[in-house]
Amino acid sequence: MIEGALGVALVDYGSGMALGTLGGGPELDLSVAAAGNTDLVRAKMRTMEMLGLTGAIEDILVTLTSQYHVIRPLTSRTGKGLFLYLALDRKRANLAMARRRLEQVENELEL
């Protein structure tokens, strides 16, 4: 469990489809968030390529006035083309702990 989590999704950034979700609701449509954040991941990867930057993206953080959104592209061979998306309630979440836990989830995922 991640304190302050509003929703989480495993997303295929080739298609923008959420492969699995937990949480969400009327205020946070995880399918819409998956598709929209796919554009963000693709844009960042294109930008890195244009700049000639090497290495992998650990995570992308979007801070809103009431929420944090953390996007973590999977780096394993079996996770290639996927990312984890996590939305957090900013008042209830510890961002450092949530990022650490998301890393652990990535390491524990069996695809």
Supply the pLDDT for residue 88.
97
* Mean pLDDT of the chain, nearest integer: 92
Q: Compute the distance between CA of residue 97 and CA of residue 24 in angstroms, rounded to an integer.
A: 20
Nearest CA among 53, 54, 71 for reference residue 62: 71
Amino acid 110: pLDDT: 78
Q: Is pLDDT above 80 for 76?
A: no
Task: Tell me the chain's radius of gyration from C-alpha atoms.
Answer: 13
Specify whether domain 5-108 bears CATH 3.30.565.10: no
Give the pLDDT band of residue 84 (cuts 50, 70, 90): very high
Alpha carbon distance 17, 10 (integer Å): 9
Q: How many angstroms separate the CA atoms of 72 and 59, rounded? A: 4
